[in-house]
């Protein structure tokens, strides 16, 4: 197995990629995307679900070639054939789930070198169970009170600033108070009788900081404070790099590099805490009853780990590289297109990747438009946009592709680059109104509504200001052309949350209205009235 470092999945997440990308397409590509079958618009054929190669098409869903990576929104990875066989065999018998958890945990320990293991319903659930174990220690009197921690001794989780991220919601769901620290001195001062654990997200931000895993462990171990590492998108290192660096517990996604069930995850580490994490998970009652792991996922995840230690990782790497070389040799035939194979330096989403780059003005095609066109095409291809040295382009990730996909990706990308779709000119017009001032904004969600506030300043076509939401204010920026407006606000991830709103619509002197793209939270309608 190759020795590798770490890469944070937060830094790989491309917001505004395939999801919601239609808003950024040209009118022509919007027509293509709108014409493509979707769950809402495509007919199911009248016969309902049909088992076979076109199972998704039978209900109007378009499958895709995954040249983007193990993103949950595009269903992660494909289970290995051995995992599918194990799941099928497991589904044919009844077992007692406590007995199964004990046997699976023992076998995971043998395979990974950890003291014990747990299969959870995804890495996020594993983080929740691990937090509960550190808070309540398997005590059912405490368990049934979670997330109300009134009267508990362990009520706080310390998170270094470098590890604040959207996934920490799985930790705070237990009811703990998050304490943020930024230095060794702050960490030492924050630890007390109320400290349940310290949580970090694996990646270069941790490795390159003053509070790297070993440094944190040197402080927490003498004080008896557990250290939980979130390694969701990483490969499974054996012996485990995080446990060797002093972590008490480490959690993985099962449906990414390990290629187990998408709805499964792993928690490895100190036996008493991992066993306590099982006590705080389903099928036991209480707050985590919804995080149920069936016998099928448990056996499927175990088989994925069994296969991990048998797989020829060097041969897989060579195959991925050969696919990228094939794609590169094909698209480089287009004048002005250059390619570069990039080798990773970390453990997370560990795979080579291919950057395909070109001059946007010369080809009259941007990387983001190319990504959207490939997603709207047939066959449907998922990849990511990229840029480098003033060039635009796309990035191809091979490790979730299947044999033969490299030829399809090469051919479709070549055709797109050789004959880019026409891009109609959209000149910016002088603004018809001045939006400067305070606006009361009404947002209509799927099943509720909310009132927000814009404070806007307009200079020519540029609009800046603030967007006050339910609890926090965030910076807003955008443009107006004639009466067409486009505003974007971002609630940064640095505090553990991330919200990205894009407002588009039409403005008058006293009112505005249009569509709201909320990224992973889908869409809504908005309207605004001038106030004051």
18-22, 112-116, 354-358, 374-378: which range is least confident on average?
18-22
Q: Dihedrals φ, ψ of 416, to 5°? A: -65, -45
Q: How many domains does the chain fold into?
A: 3
The residue range of the domain holding 98 is 81-310
- The pLDDT value recorded for residue 494 is 62
SS3 of 375, please? helix
- The pLDDT value recorded for residue 8 is 41
What CATH number corresponds to the domain at position 464?
A: 2.40.128.120
Within this chain, do residues 147 and 226 fall inside the same structural domain, yes or no?
A: yes
Q: Is residue 267 part of a domain?
A: yes
Q: Which position has the token pair 């588009």?
A: 504
> Over 90: is that where the pLDDT of 7 sits?
no
What is the DSSP-derived secondary structure letter of residue 20?
T
308-317: average pLDDT: 96
Within this chain, do residues 214 and 348 fall inside the same structural domain, yes or no?
A: no
Within this chain, do residues 299 and 318 fall inside the same structural domain, yes or no?
A: no
Within this chain, do residues 475 and 330 fall inside the same structural domain, yes or no?
A: no
Within this chain, do residues 240 and 270 fall inside the same structural domain, yes or no?
A: yes
Q: Is residue 162 part of a domain?
A: yes
> Over 70: is that where the pLDDT of 495 sits?
no
Tokens encoding 208: 């390159």
> Over 80: is that where the pLDDT of 58 sits?
yes
- Given 310, 345, 380, the domain boundary residue is 310
* 406 closest CA partner among 326, 333, 342, 334: 326
> Over 50: is that where the pLDDT of 141 sits?
yes
Positive or negative torsion for Cα 392, 397, 398, 401? negative
Within this chain, do residues 96 and 197 fall inside the same structural domain, yes or no?
A: yes
261-285: average pLDDT: 97
- The pLDDT value recorded for residue 26 is 35
What CATH number corresponds to the domain at position 324?
A: 3.90.1150.180
Q: Is residue 106 part of a domain?
A: yes
Within this chain, do residues 323 and 283 fall inside the same structural domain, yes or no?
A: no
Please, which residues bridge with residue 468 across strands?
453, 473
User: Distance between CA atoms of 12 and 464, rounded to whole angstroms?
Assistant: 28
313-335: average pLDDT: 97
50 burial level (CB within 10 Å; 0-12, 13-18, 19+): middle
Within this chain, do residues 250 and 322 fall inside the same structural domain, yes or no?
A: no
Radius of gyration of the chain (CA): 25
- Given 353, 387, 418, the domain boundary residue is 418
Within this chain, do residues 293 and 346 fall inside the same structural domain, yes or no?
A: no
Condensed to tens digits (0 to 9), the pLDDT of residues 454-481 reads: 999 999 999 999 999 998 899 999 999 9
Q: What is the CB neighbour count within 10 angstroms for residue 303?
A: 22
What is the DSSP-derived secondary structure letter of residue 346?
B
> Over 80: is that where the pLDDT of 22 sits?
no
What CATH number corresponds to the domain at position 300?
A: 3.40.640.10
Confidence band, pLDDT 50/70/90 cuts, at residue 16: very low
Are the CB atoms for 216 and 183 separated by under 8 Å? no
Q: Is residue 429 part of a domain?
A: no
> Over 80: is that where the pLDDT of 357 sits?
yes
- The pLDDT value recorded for residue 493 is 60
User: Distance between CA atoms of 436 and 369, rounded to whole angstroms?
Assistant: 32
pLDDT, averaged across the chain: 91
Cis peptide bond N-terminal to 105, omega within 30? no
Within this chain, do residues 57 and 106 fall inside the same structural domain, yes or no?
A: no
Within this chain, do residues 109 and 177 fall inside the same structural domain, yes or no?
A: yes
Condensed to tens digits (0 to 9), the pLDDT of residues 93-138 reads: 999 999 999 999 999 999 999 999 999 999 999 999 999 999 999 9
User: Distance between CA atoms of 213 and 235, rounded to whole angstroms?
Assistant: 17
- The pLDDT value recorded for residue 253 is 97
303-331: average pLDDT: 97
> Over 50: is that where the pLDDT of 40 sits?
no
46-55, 355-364, 367-376: which range is least confident on average?
46-55
* 342 closest CA partner among 393, 390, 403: 393
Q: Is residue 153 part of a domain?
A: yes
52-68: average pLDDT: 95
75-84, 286-295, 490-499: which range is least confident on average?
490-499
E runs forming strands in 112-253: 116-120, 156-160, 177-181, 195-201, 227-230, 249-253
Within this chain, do residues 58 and 183 fall inside the same structural domain, yes or no?
A: no
315-326: average pLDDT: 97
Percent share of the chain, pLDDT over 70: 91
18-46: average pLDDT: 37
- Given 310, 341, 371, the domain boundary residue is 310
* 367 closest CA partner among 403, 391, 388, 392: 392
Reported pTM: 0.87
Q: What is the CB neighbour count within 10 angstroms for residue 3?
A: 7
Q: Is residue 160 part of a domain?
A: yes
> Over 50: is that where the pLDDT of 39 sits?
no
Between the CA of residue 260 and those of 95, 122, 138, 284, what are the distances in Å? 20, 10, 27, 24
User: Distance between CA atoms of 117 and 510, rounded to whole angstroms?
Assistant: 61
* 354 closest CA partner among 362, 366, 369, 344: 344
290-314: average pLDDT: 97
Condensed to tens digits (0 to 9), the pLDDT of residues 199-228 reads: 999 998 898 899 999 999 999 999 999 999
Q: Is residue 276 part of a domain?
A: yes
Confidence band, pLDDT 50/70/90 cuts, at residue 15: very low
- The pLDDT value recorded for residue 472 is 87
Percent share of the chain, pLDDT over 90: 86
User: Distance between CA atoms of 303 and 85, rounded to whole angstroms?
Assistant: 9
Confidence band, pLDDT 50/70/90 cuts, at residue 272: very high
Q: Is residue 73 part of a domain?
A: no
């Amino acid at each position: 197995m190759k020795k590798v470092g770490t890469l944070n999945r937060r830094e790989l997440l491309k917001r505004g990629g395939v999801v919601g990308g239609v808003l950024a397409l040209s009118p022509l590509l919007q027509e293509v995307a709108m014409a493509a079958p979707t769950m809402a618009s495509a007919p199911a054929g009248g016969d309902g679900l049909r088992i076979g190669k076109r199972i998704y098409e039978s209900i109007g869903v378009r499958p895709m070639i995954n040249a983007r990576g193990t993103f949950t929104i595009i269903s992660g990875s494909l289970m290995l054939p051995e995992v599918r066989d194990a799941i099928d065999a497991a589904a044919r018998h009844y077992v007692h789930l406590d007995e199964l958890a004990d046997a699976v945990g023992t076998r995971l320990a043998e395979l990974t070198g950890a003291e014990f293991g747990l299969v959870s319903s995804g890495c996020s659930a594993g983080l929740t169970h691990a937090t509960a174990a550190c808070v309540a220690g398997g005590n059912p009197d405490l368990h049934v009170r979670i997330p109300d921690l009134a009267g508990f001794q362990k009520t706080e989780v310390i998170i270094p600033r470098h590890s604040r991220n959207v996934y920490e919601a799985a930790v705070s769901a237990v009811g703990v108070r998050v304490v943020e620290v930024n230095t060794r001195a702050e960490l030492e001062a924050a630890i007390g009788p109320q400290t349940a654990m310290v949580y970090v997200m694996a990646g270069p931000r941790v490795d390159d900081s003053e509070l790297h895993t070993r440094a944190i462990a040197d402080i927490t171990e003498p004080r008896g404070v557990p250290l939980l590492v979130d390694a969701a998108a990483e490969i499974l290192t054996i012996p485990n790099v995080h446990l060797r660096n002093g972590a008490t517990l480490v959690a993985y996604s099962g449906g990414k590099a390990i290629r187990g069930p998408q709805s499964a995850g792993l928690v490895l580490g100190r036996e008493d805490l991992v066993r306590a994490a099982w006590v705080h998970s389903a099928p036991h009652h209480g707050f985590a009853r919804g995080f149920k792991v069936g016998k099928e996922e448990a056996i499927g995840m175990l088989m994925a780990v069994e296969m991990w230690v048998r797989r020829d990782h060097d041969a897989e790497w060579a195959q991925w590289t050969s696919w990228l070389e094939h794609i590169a040799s094909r698209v480089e035939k287009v004048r002005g297109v250059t390619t570069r194979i990039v080798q990773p330096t970390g453990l997370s989403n560990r795979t080579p990747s291919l950057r395909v780059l070109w001059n946007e003005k010369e080809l009259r095609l941007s990387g983001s438009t190319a990504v959207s066109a490939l997603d709207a095409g047939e066959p449907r291809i998922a990849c990511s946009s990229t840029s480098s040295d003033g060039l635009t382009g796309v990035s191809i990730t091979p490790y979730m592709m299947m044999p033969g996909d490299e030829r399809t990706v090469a051919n479709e990308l070549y055709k797109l680059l050789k004959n880019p779709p026409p891009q109609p000119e959209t000149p910016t017009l002088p603004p018809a109104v001045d939006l400067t001032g305070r606006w009361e904004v009404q947002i209509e969600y799927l099943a509720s509504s909310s009132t927000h506030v814009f404070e806007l300043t307009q200079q020519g076509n540029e609009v800046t200001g603030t967007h006050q939401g339910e609890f926090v204010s965030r910076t807003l920026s955008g443009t107006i052309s004639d009466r067409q407006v486009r505003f974007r606000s971002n609630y940064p991830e640095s505090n553990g949350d991330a919200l990205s709103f894009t407002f588009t619509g039409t403005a008058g002197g006293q009112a505005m209205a249009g569509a709201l793209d909320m990224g992973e939270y889908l869409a809504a309608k908005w309207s605004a009235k001038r106030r004051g």
